[in-house]
A and B are shown apart, each in its own frame.
Chain A
Amino acid sequence: MFKEIFLFELKYRFKRPATWAYFGILLVFGLIVAISGDVPASEKAYVNAPTTITRMLSIISIFGIMLASAIMGVPIYRDIEHKTENYYFSYPISEKGYILGRFLGSLCILFLVSLGFQIGLIIGFAIGPNAGFTEAERFITLNLWHYIQPTLLIYWTNFFFAGAIFFALVTMTKRIMLAYAGGAILFIGYLITLTLTQDIENKNLVSILDPFAFETFNNITRYWTPVEQNTQILPLTSALIWNRLLWVGIGLVAFLFTFFRFDFIKFLNKKFKTKKKHENLDASNPTAALTKLPKVSQVFSSGLSIKLLFDLAKMEFKNIIRDNFFRAILIAALAFLLFDAFFGFPIYGTPSLPLTYYMLEVKNFNYSILIFVLIVFMTGEVLHRERGVNYDQIFGSLPLKNRIVYASKFLALVMISFMLVNLVLLSGVLAQTLQGYFNYQFDMYFTDLYLIEFPKYITFILLAFFVHSIVTKKFMGHVIAIAIWALLFGINAFLKVDNNLYLYGYTPGYTVSDMNGFGHFGKALFWFKTYWLACGGVLLVIGYLFWKRGTDSGRKARWQLAKERLNLRTISTGILLLVVFIGSGAFINHNTKTINKYKNEEEGEIAQAAYEKTLSKYDKIAQPKVIDVKVNADLTPENRSARIKTTYLMVNKTNENIDSLHINWGAEGLLKKEVNTFTIEGKSPKLGNSYDDFGYEIYALDKPLKPNDTVTMVLDITGYYKGFPNEGTGSAIVYNGTFLNDNFFPSFGYNANAEMTSDLDRKKYGLPIKDYQLPEQDDPWGTSNLLFNDDADYITFEGTVSTAPDQIAVMPGYLQKEWEENGRRYFTYKMEGDLDFFYNISSANYNIHKDIWTGKNGEKVNIEIFHHPTHTYNIDRFVKGVKHSMDYFSENYGPYQYRQMRILEFPRYATFAQSFPNTVPFSESFGWVGDFSDPEDLDYVYTVTSHEVAHQWWGHQITPSATRGSNQVSESMAEYSSLMVMKKEYGIDAMQDFLKRELDNYLRGRANESKFEKTLLDNDTQAYVWYRKGGLILYALQDLIGEDNLNSGFKAYTEAARYRQKAPFTTTKEWYHYMNSVTPDSLKYYLEDSFEKITLYSNKISKASYKKLADDKYKVTITVESSKEYFDGLGKLLKTSEKPNLLDIGIFDNDIKNSNGMTIKSPLFIKKIWVKPGESTFTFTTDKLPVKAGIDPYNKMIDRIPDDNLISVEEETD
């Protein structure tokens, strides 16, 4: 019996167009991805590398939930749907044969259909090299095992799991809806595991619990370098095996449960029950038919039409919210909102306070996906409601105007949207209240939800409404509507079309800030929303013409109807909307393209390449250097403009005559600049050559500037914004929170930082590959210029700035004078001593918190925290960070160079902190609103403050040259310094968490490297090397050779290099020399491994046991494995070391909590021991019962699997 049912299922499915449609979609998708070569992988990985293929299969199998539900949900339900169950089950078939046949038949189909993607990929990768979208060298030849292995291990097992669940759900409940709801639940569960992985500690758990093994895959491959990605297939780690066994097991259990429980009689039972209940109520009453009907009056006025419009909309609204599918999704959506509101905004794993804008941003996460799906499906339901329940004929013949019915349905969906935006409000307030935060900013909620989000949902609806009006088959409508969105997404993501004017419903991004509210985004949003609403409106009118009322879906009949409906009213509405659409589109285009020079990605690249080709001949030409700057700035934040006059004193520090000045404005950007005055030595200079596209002008000097000659230049510029751009904020001058820096002004000469860097892009535009941005450490040009700005060495500075009367403006230096004049507020600042040519002008409505640090010698530093009035939460942490840093740095590196330290808050248009001389601007969302109530969480305000204060020494006192590796002198040293301050305050256990995070970032960074990883001595572009690796290595170095010892080397370095006035400026060679000088010969191997090479350890403890001795002591025996490997920049293994290394070996009691409530390790024994590569066994004696033991237990070394360094100690059994 099984065989017939199984074969019937196959045959039946092969005849269904849906089967082929699913297959075709996957095939085409695979083809597109493969031919375009646009795969999720870094530039150095092959597009069809085994890891990439596995990753793509994993992702597709997650989206395959839909496919699994569509295919596995229906085989049993089919008999209910087509009402065949009553006779089908009367045939001589067995339940088991029936279930097994349908299940396996469908499963086979699911597996076969799913192969469409692989087939698409294989064909696509064969075509790819000749198609020209991606370089042919990024394709490798076909290896079938690269497809078969992940298909068996991940792809099909995921389909099996999901399919078995859906099959069981629908069979046992007879509700097809559950296939969808089940899909939603599975998807939710899935996204929750993804969120949990934000916390590194849970990685192993997630690896096992992820139903789709995607995170398992990620956890295995996350540190794989491109070379490893290109060659290795997914290894069968224990987590992966357990994961697969677990989820296939659950799928199997679900199926077996169904298999044994299924019973024809029970399956049919339910229906009879419900019917019988009412049969007896229907008593016959022969006189009933004679009941006279009362006279009624009927009105068909237009006033009534309006009332009916609302009645109908209300009825439809009720119909929607009664829908179980809608409710299921809605509950899921609400769960997401709350979940994300609670866990959504950590920085370094530390949560943020539930501010209103965070609560609002939650809607852009998972919620938006669900809402989108909900809107498409609900629109389909609404437009097919009457047809779906067979009420269409009665309804269609009711005396209702077409436009009333059509509008009522639209209105109902608008009401649903309104409910959906309010759901965000509800969940936001709920999440805030539950977290004990009561500063609800309702004006922010209302503005964002009602004026920005609500129209967005309506735009969604308009398109879905149009599609479902035109397409009379509901399922087809869903497919087309989702396909349109997928297409838009694809065009945006893969074809890199990002002009919001061409992507239906797309509007510029915006950021809400406490400091600047909705800022300057309103205008662009208004016009784009108007544009898309009008476009949607036109679609709505077209949809109306073809919308089906009645039973006739023939093309002829619908055209005929459309002609009838094309009356004056519809034509004029349509034309009006079209005019608004085209008019606003033209206006937007004028603003984005004409005024703000919108360029798509390719145009941008072409311009970038042209810049280099045209102007690189001026690279490193001799130009005078600025030595003194006087600024006169008038800020008008009210209309986002500023007029700034700067007087530069410049000197020729070169040995040659300079006969022309190269002014580099950069290509015209969002901030428009108008020159009011430009004089050199009091005279307007003569423009020689100019390259308008790049904003590059060359002025001939009246007489050549001889070596050591000085010259005065005055630039008076007005900067302002005009119109609005397609995307991007233009956030230098804003209503509250202006943050301008010296690049408001032009630079001198060619700027090599504006060149394109990607190897592939450079090849594409015929530019030579550039491995390094900066010259070598002994390059004369490099050592005679400073890293951050080659237009000056050190400068002196003073200036006056005016701003709005309710704002405070800040510039470098000490406040000399403050006054009000003409309704503006003025501030004069003057800097004492030198600063590098790197300053900012800020202005905002600030409150100032003041404190004083007093040094050991009685020196005082004023600490000033300029903060947004309501952001008072963490001010003490900033202050503490500054004070502790001052303590540590002045002691270990030498005195602080200024008498004040200022921290400024700026709006959250960017998330960073940056160290200017005596001033550190901190983004609004970076620390000011962090929630540090849990002592286990990292106090990043403290560490980042410390890092930025350290830059006052490393960067501003020791200002490195423009040579390779120089960033390490500033960034790695600042990172090291902050680690030391943090260690002193929080102890080594807090360090371990932080270092593990650093390690994770470093290993991830090198895995995604698009060129090749550079060493600490010559890295010039890779932030993961200078922050992460730099911090890790220097931390371990001080641990190895002693903190004081290392610091003595740094102090000697500081004394030699601080404020070096003349070239050659300092390089990593000098820095390295001082570290070398304090490192004993026995440990020099570590310096060499870490600074000159790329070295990875693999330390692991494989066995630990103890035996109780007679005298209440314990003998602990541990076996460790250690290896050290050298890699090249691409991640290729070069060599395995055979020399021993000095590593921590430790034995621990149970973890304890320290006085701050933080969990810390409790060592019984810890010692640095020379460990040979390979396996070693050690024996120790402890006084207390050993609980855990490990090698490098604090994770100081760079080790790709840090979690196997510590295990529990077992008691030995004889």
Chain B
Amino acid sequence: MELQIKDLSKTYSNGVHALKNVSLNIPQGMFGLLGPNGAGKSSLMRTLATLQQADSGSIMLDDIDILKDKGRVREILGYLPQEFGVYPKISSYNMLNHIASLKGISNKDERKDLVESLLNKTNLWDVRNKSLGTYSGGMKQRFGIAQALIGEPKLIVVDEPTAGLDPAERVRFHNLLSEIGENTIVILSTHIVDDVSNLCNNMAIICLGEVVAQGKPSALIENVKGKVWKKTIDKSEIENYKQEMQVISTHLKSGDTVIHVLNDSQPDSSFEACEADLEDVYFAEISSRMDTALA
């Protein structure tokens, strides 16, 4: 099973060009879609989740045309939107049960087993009779993934699930995602590099509506290996460096400013080699396209 996105474009009625000829091949397994805020991640995710029309291009999931045959996609889709709620004054248990029935699980006993397992799996069993409005951010996201997992979806679309979660919750959430079956396509959009490096075997970086890199994380890291250099500098000099070389990121370390620079060779002896990681890949891609005011 493979998801093929070809030349997908979308312009909103307010003029925002959200997707520009996006083409991606997404195999089974966890796929990370990394991009800064406003890159077009959510537009792409919503289009995959059949919630939005595209202007041109195609999305095929094997033989299913996602843009046209929405009904069939929805039967095998699990979707966790970036922001969501549910009906007020309804307990999580009842809500999951309701969604399960809407996803075609018509057998009552099966549904009951499933909902109970989901609640256990997401560690929400003790609060199953509370409504979503009373949940903390982490609990809410776990509820979100629980509903997305109903009905053994073949395609799971998870849009920025870890935004705003504390580190412990993020770990829990990663654990949940990593448990999703092998023969499923899971697309995870995020702006947090760790999410991708922890979970994904394939990824793409998207920026300003365009795919700027795709492949396996290791392969992408390989591309910049030996080209990333770092240096501790004085804060006031930063503009000079930016003009002279490709500064991909700036960090603060114990109050000092450390810059990472992408260059084929060591710029000068004051720079030292740096073990490239996915973050460097990411910043390398986007820093050339937009002003990343990172600190």
Contacts and interface: CB of A to CB of B under 8 A. Distances in A.
Interface of A: 274-275, 277-279, 281-286, 288-300, 304, 307-308, 311-312, 315, 319, 322, 385, 389-391, 393-394, 396-401, 549-557, 560-561, 564
A295 B111 CA distance: 10
By Cβ-Cβ distance, the 3 closest A-B pairs, closest first, are A550-B51, A554-B13, A390-B85
A1044 B50 CA distance: 95
B120 interface: yes
9 contacts: A284-B168, A289-B123, A296-B107, A297-B107, A311-B98, A391-B86, A394-B147, A399-B104, A552-B46
A298 to B, nearest CB: 4
Contacts of A290: 121, 179
Interface string B98-118: 111111111100110110011
A49 B100 CA distance: 67
Contacts of A277: 134
B162 interface: no
B75 to A, nearest CB: 4
Interface string B114-157: 10011011110011001000111011000010011101100000
Given A289-B123, A556-B55, 7 more contacts: A279-B136, A282-B136, A289-B179, A322-B89, A385-B87, A394-B144, A557-B52
B122 A278 contact: no
Contact of A298 (B52, B83, B105, B147): B105
B58 to A, nearest CB: 15
B118 A293 contact: yes
A714 to B, nearest CB: 78
B51 A300 contact: no
Contacts of B126: 281-283
A319 B87 contact: yes
Interface of B: 12-13, 46, 49-53, 55, 68, 71, 74-75, 77, 79-81, 83-89, 98-107, 110-111, 113-114, 117-118, 120-123, 126-127, 130, 134-136, 138-139, 144, 147-149, 151-152, 168, 172, 175-176, 178-179
Contact of B51 (A288, A295, A307, A551): A551
Given A282-B139, A308-B101, A311-B101, A393 B74 contact: no
Contacts of A295: 152
B142 to A, nearest CB: 9
A564 to B, nearest CB: 8
Contact of B52 (A285, A294, A550): A550
A298 B118 contact: no
A696 B68 CA distance: 71
Contacts of A396: 49-51
Contacts of B168: 284
B123 A285 contact: yes
A298 B103 contact: yes
A898 to B, nearest CB: 74
Contacts of B49: 393, 396-397
A307 B179 CA distance: 33
Nearest to B83: A390
Given A289-B176, A304-B104, A315-B98, A554 B12 contact: yes
A564 B89 CA distance: 36
B98 A288 contact: no
A551 B123 contact: no
A1184 to B, nearest CB: 68
B237 to A, nearest CB: 35
Contact of B74 (A311, A398, A555): A398
Nearest to B149: A293
Contact of B50 (A275, A308, A550): A550
B151 A560 contact: no
A304 B50 CA distance: 22
Given A294-B113, A296-B114, A298-B151, A400 B99 contact: no
A393 B84 contact: yes
A292 B179 CA distance: 9
B121 A291 contact: yes
B123 A288 contact: yes
Contacts of A312: 102
B102 A278 contact: no
A127 B50 CA distance: 55
| B51, B114, B130, most chain A CB atoms within 10 A | B51
Contacts of A560: 53
Contacts of A322: 88-89
Nearest to B95: A391
B99 A398 contact: yes
Given A299-B106, A304-B106, A400 B179 contact: no
A399 B102 contact: yes
Nearest to A314: B98
A886 B87 CA distance: 74
B133 to A, nearest CB: 8
B110 A296 contact: yes
Contacts of B120: 288, 291
Contacts of A284: 123, 168, 172
A290 B134 CA distance: 25
A278 B105 contact: no
B46 A393 contact: yes
Given A296-B151, A319-B87, A554-B12, A397 B138 contact: no
Nearest to B121: A291
Nearest to B104: A298
Nearest to B100: A296
A756 B102 CA distance: 66
Contact of A398 (B103, B111, B117): B103
Contacts of A282: 123, 126-127, 136, 138-139
Nearest to B99: A398
Contacts of B136: 275, 278-279, 282
A296 to B, nearest CB: 5
A920 to B, nearest CB: 62
A1090 B49 CA distance: 86
Most B CB within 10 A of own CB, among A282, A311, A315, A390 = A282
A292 B120 CA distance: 9
A289 B136 CA distance: 18
Given A274-B134, A297-B107, A552-B51, A389 B88 contact: yes
A399 B121 contact: no
A393 B51 CA distance: 7
Contacts of B12: 554
B104 A300 contact: yes
Given A288-B122, A289-B172, A299-B106, A397 B50 contact: yes
Most chain B CB neighbours (cut-off 10 Å) among A285, A400, A552, A556: A552
Nearest to B72: A399
Contact of B121 (A288, A385, A394, A556): A288
A296 B87 contact: no
A175 to B, nearest CB: 13
Nearest to A560: B53
A297 B105 contact: yes
Contact of B134 (A278, A311, A315): A278
Contact of B110 (A294, A315, A393): A294
B81 A394 contact: yes
A391 B51 CA distance: 12
B84 A296 contact: no
Q: Which of A308, A399, A551, A552 has the most CB of B within 10 A?
A: A399
A1058 B87 CA distance: 82
B263 to A, nearest CB: 42
B134 A555 contact: no
A518 B71 CA distance: 49
A291 B121 CA distance: 5
Contacts of A304: 104, 106
A389 B81 CA distance: 13
Nearest to B147: A394
Contacts of B106: 299, 304, 307
Contacts of A561: 53
Contacts of A308: 101-102
Contact of B53 (A279, A307, A390, A557): A557
A400 B84 contact: no
